[in-house]
Homo-oligomer: A and B are copies of this chain.
Amino acid sequence: MHIFRKISEFQVWRKSQAAPLALVPTMGALHRGHGYLIEQAVLSQIPTVVSIFVNPMQFNQSLDLQKYPRTEDADFALCKNLGVEAVLAPEPTEIYPHPFFSSCEVSTLDKTLCGATRPGHFRGVCTVVLKLFNITQASLAYFGTKDFQQLRIIEQMVYDFNLPLSIIRVPTQRESTGLALSSRNTRLSPEERTRATCLYAGLQKAADLFKQGERNSFNLCQAAEAEMQKGLPFTLDYLSIVDQKSLQNLTYINQPALMALAAFFGEVRLIDNVELVP
């Protein structure tokens, strides 16, 4: 497995490859959820590249950036194990040489859910992802549905900018307790980690009611919140039911919808979601 620190060295290798390539963009601290993403990419039968880059541009708080877990040696080992062809793990100055002026964004979709409290976050995501698409010239790129808003925004960017690649959606992977796998989980205390399972329990409660025919968003959110109370104390950033395409709030569900949430356990911000499809 190749490990590239320099974009230029990656590009020399890239030119030696046959055209198609699968890309799994990550911020490292790889867990079983990333592993599943990578497995799906490798199964595509075209060479798979994993990028590992903790993107400063998408962090709102420098503390969150500093505390973002880094486990590079283990990440490389996992990639090698799973049959990855090459890892691109550049330094920040490789991705953002000085001076750096350009950015891209997907308006409207970036204003709801996480975008409401994380101004500039998705501009950072879009900018680095566009760069990674261009650097790797990938034909397929794999994104997890845990970050559903990110996924939707990138799908829209690909469509709007006529980017020549396809985005593959990969389902959220969970602990046996239901907690969605996240690199940030390692920053939870054991006790917080137990309580945080309430988030998925709440989402499941709503999904059950939805299956029974409940279509009123207020009722579904109320039921989810009641279930989540069992995991207090935590701070709910948002709990919303939105249209899967527009990410705009729905009061009544008669189209593919998403119940999504963000919550702080201590300093750690967790997100999760469940699809509600009539």
Contacts and interface: CB of A to CB of B under 8 A. Distances in A.
B107 A157 contact: no
A206 to B, nearest CB: 28
Contacts of A137: 164
A130 B134 CA distance: 12
A161 to B, nearest CB: 6
Interface stretch (A67-75, A98-106, A257-265): A98-106
A134 B160 contact: no
Chain multiplicity (copies): 2
A101 B160 contact: yes
A163 interface: yes
B102 A162 contact: no
Interface in A1-52: 7
Given A131-B162, A162-B135, A105 B108 contact: no
A134 B130 CA distance: 12
Contact of A164 (B105, B134, B162): B134
A134 B161 contact: yes
Interface residues of A, number: 26
Contact of A162 (B99, B104, B107, B134): B134
A109 interface: yes
Contacts of A246: 99
A156 interface: yes
Nearest to A131: B162
Nearest to A134: B162
A161 B107 CA distance: 19
A17 to B, nearest CB: 14
Contact of A101 (B99, B106, B163, B164): B106
Interface in A150-183: 156-157, 160-164
Contacts of A131: 160-162
Contacts of A105: 102-104
Given A100-B160, A131-B161, 13 more contacts: A7-B162, A99-B108, A101-B156, A102-B105, A102-B107, A104-B104, A130-B161, A131-B160, A131-B162, A134-B161, A134-B164, A135-B162, A137-B164
